Structure 1
């Protein structure tokens, strides 16, 4: 079954949203921890982890339901006794991928619950989910669609790079370099899945790119590098904004400055009225 634009775009959005969120969250967490010299995660950070895991599990569950129960989906039927063949393995392929991300989201939530699971289990479950995703894409049946295989082979680079980063985070917790590298791979996955949708199934209709043109292979490999450059630029821009946000010397907003000036003027006026009244009373008590 050929790749659909909508399915590829939805999967890309899933990864891009997480990458965009992490590109703000991790630099902000690092800068705040560096400024406040606090190495222990606060209760607020644990709540963020739980919320993040819940969102991941929700998206993954929604993906499973969509893959299974769209009109052309298998509707939970893996093998057809009528045709004596497997039923739409492409949908089952993506269902399996979402299943591991669903498990990863559940582990995220449980890891920060009172059960107190071993530290790093949440990162390990995410690493396993990414490895399974890469495995499924590597051994997918592409048939004669050489360009399709090339696009997903490039995607596998981003997947396995992210899986390796998360695996290292099991042992190097809260390492900002690994967190940023993982974030960049998620941004790359998200944007590249959108690119795959545009190449193989253009949203405006018509056939996809020529599967036999060798120049398409060269251009898309170069385009993959551009996507990663864009991911790094996005990460750097959000990190710069986070740096400005936590900077102690940043200028105050205009409304806050105006409020301070108004408050000062009110206090000065009240003090002046109090002094005048006090002087009048003193003059009445001590006439000349």
Structure 2
């Protein structure tokens, strides 16, 4: 949709999942790090989170396709009628289609099926690549500022596609997961920025030919990413603090229970001290 809502919809999609990944991935990484040497599988809680993520991704992709196709001025499923019909809406629908495929892959990876490891990351990387591929040919013959603000989006899109492809071969890499989260947040906020620039809700229109506006937008892009990094850092710190506090409280409650039952022998004391040293 060539309006503000058409940019706010994918912006909300990427912002939501970027924030979700910035909490879920650190939580799983911190849990695995504190379970080192114990050979425990991930609890069902994490598998349920992956399943919910896949369902939500598929649902949002379906909503995006329906919104692009059946808005009042949409193509309503018609691709050609004496000429091409609303190709911009069809491009956006194609983008949502591949993210829907990524959501289905997330669901399959949680099912008890012989699904190859890394299928979820591979499908997400392909969805991001398709998004960038479509947007690359999306803004030809447009004013300079319009072309530039969309080309900046491609940096985040192709960067996310490349980093996610690396995750296929480097599973559970905390830095790559945090990098993907920051780029997803950047995509989300930048879609909103594109909407505000090209379709301002109030005030005068931007001069799409002014080089000064291009310079400002480039600087503004860097500010967006700085905020994305700050959000990822804050979320990681909060997750680390909360998990550490919960484990400390659980350890104290365990020690109190053992003392009440008279079972706090020397071996139990030694185990508690070892867990305290690990934390």
TM-score by length of structure 1 reads 0.83
Q: 2:97 corresponds to which residue? A: 99
- Distance in 1 (alpha carbons) for counterparts of 2:195 and 2:53: 27
Alignment check: 8 A CA contact 1:244 1:250 kept:
no
- Distance in 2 (alpha carbons) for counterparts of 1:197 and 1:124: 30
Q: CA deviation at 1:50?
A: 1.1
Task: Select the residue among 166, 190, 193 that pairs with 1:192.
Answer: 190
Q: 1:286 corresponds to which residue? A: none
- Distance in 1 (alpha carbons) for counterparts of 2:204 and 2:79: 30
- Matching of residues 1-288 of structure 1 within 5 Å: 3-37=2-36, 40-80=41-81, 84-204=82-202, 208-248=205-245
Q: Which SS does the other structure have where 1:79 is aligned? A: coil
Q: 1:283 corresponds to which residue? A: none
Alignment check: 8 A CA contact 1:201 1:207 kept:
no
Q: 2:264 corresponds to which residue? A: none
- Distance in 2 (alpha carbons) for counterparts of 1:239 and 1:70: 39
Q: CA deviation at 1:226?
A: 0.5
* Structure 1: gaps (5+ residues): 258-266, 268-288
* Structure 2: gaps (5+ residues): 253-259, 261-279
- Distance in 2 (alpha carbons) for counterparts of 1:41 and 1:147: 48
- Distance in 1 (alpha carbons) for counterparts of 2:47 and 2:187: 26
Q: CA deviation at 1:42?
A: 2.7
More divergent stretch after superposition (133-142 vs 224-233): 133-142
1:142-187 Cα deviation digits (max 9, x unpaired): 4232211101100000000000011001001111010000000000
Q: Which SS does the other structure have where 1:51 is aligned? A: helix
Q: 1:279 corresponds to which residue? A: none
- Distance in 2 (alpha carbons) for counterparts of 1:141 and 1:189: 17
TM-score by length of structure 2 reads 0.85
More divergent stretch after superposition (151-160 vs 140-149): 140-149
RMSD: 2.3
Alignment check: 8 A CA contact 2:139 2:146 kept:
no
> Are the structure 2 counterparts of residues 209 and 71 from structure 1 closer, same or farther at C-alpha, using a change threshold of 3 Å?
same
More divergent stretch after superposition (19-28 vs 142-151): 142-151
- Distance in 2 (alpha carbons) for counterparts of 1:169 and 1:208: 42
Q: Which SS does the other structure have where 1:49 is aligned? A: helix
Q: Which SS does the other structure have where 1:225 is aligned? A: helix
- Distance in 2 (alpha carbons) for counterparts of 1:151 and 1:103: 28
